[in-house]
Amino acid sequence: MKTAAAILAAFVLALGQSGCATLKDAQAAKGSGAAKIYEKSYDVVWSAVLASVSATGLDLVAKEKGTILGQGPVGPFTWGENVAIFVDDLGGRARTRVEVVSKRAIATNITARDWESRIFEDLDKRF
């Protein structure tokens, strides 16, 4: 019994020492995520990204011009994820760049969801 308690205590301590990512960390990582360019206007892409966030099950936390912040829900196999989506008008023609940055809420979360692929797969279906 003492061995099980010691193992549990060591696991909890390791989790606490492993580091956590916040929404701020995801937002600060702009330029490091997966990105795609769509031959659509900013307004069309912005609306589609919001619809994709909803359709993929990402919880919308905040949105302001060009940036959407979301969180992957905690579940039986994940501690959740923090996601920042950047939508940038490339100017001139109807071209818009979308970048998705996904950070694990806890660094040791090996079962974190791949929000980059989920968002882009949904967007590709819309366009």
> Can you list the alpha helix ranges (DSSP code H) found in the chain?
2-17, 23-28, 42-56, 115-126
CATH code at position 40: 3.30.310.80
Residue 20 and residue 79: Cα distance in Å, rounded?
10
In a domain, 7, yes or no: no
At 72-103, the pLDDT tens digits run: 877 666 667 889 999 999 987 799 999 999 88
At 15-59, the pLDDT tens digits run: 443 346 677 778 788 999 999 999 999 999 999 999 999 999 999
In a domain, 122, yes or no: yes
Query: Do 27 and 69 form a contact (C-beta atoms < 8 A)?
Result: yes
In a domain, 6, yes or no: no
SS3 (DSSP) at 83: strand
What is the rounded average pLDDT of the residues 6-22? 48
Asked if the model's pLDDT at residue 11 lies above 60, the reply is: no
